[in-house]
Amino acid sequence: MGVNLKVRHFLSMLDCSAEEITAILDTADALKKQPRGKDLPLRDKTLAMIFQKPSLRTRVSFETGMTQLGGHAIYLAPTDIQLGARETTEDIAKTLSRYVDLIMARVFGHEIVVELAKHATVPVINALSDFEHPCQALADFQTIRARKGKLAGLHGCFIGDGNNVAHSLMFGAALLGMNFTVITPPAYEPKAAVCKQAEQIGAQTGARISTTHDLNACRGADVLYTDVWASMGQEAEAAERKRIFKDYRIDAETMKRADRQAVILHCLPAHYGDEIDYATSRLPNSAIFDQAENRLHAQKALMVHLAG
Catalytic site positions: 106, 133, 136, 227, 267, 295
Determine contact, residues 105/123, Cβ cutoff 8 Å: no
Report the distance separating Cα 47 and Cα 40, nearest Å.
Answer: 15
Helix boundaries (H) for 89-221: 89-99, 110-119, 134-148, 164-176, 192-205
Q: How many CA atoms lie within 13 A of 179 on its CB side?
A: 10
Please name the residues in contact with 74: beta carbons below 8 A apart, sequence gap of 6 or more.
Answer: 46, 47, 48, 49, 100
Q: Name which of 215, 241, 229 is nearest 270 in CA terms.
A: 229
Beta strands in the chain (DSSP E): 46-51, 72-76, 102-106, 124-128, 155-159, 179-183, 209-212, 223-226, 263-266
Determine contact, residues 83/137, Cβ cutoff 8 Å: no
Q: Determine the longest span between alpha carbons in the chain, in angstroms.
A: 55
Determine contact, residues 112/83, Cβ cutoff 8 Å: yes
Indicate the Cα dihedral angle 307, 146, 36, 41, nearest 10°. -20
Please, what is the angle between helix 288-307 and helix 134-148, to 10°? 120
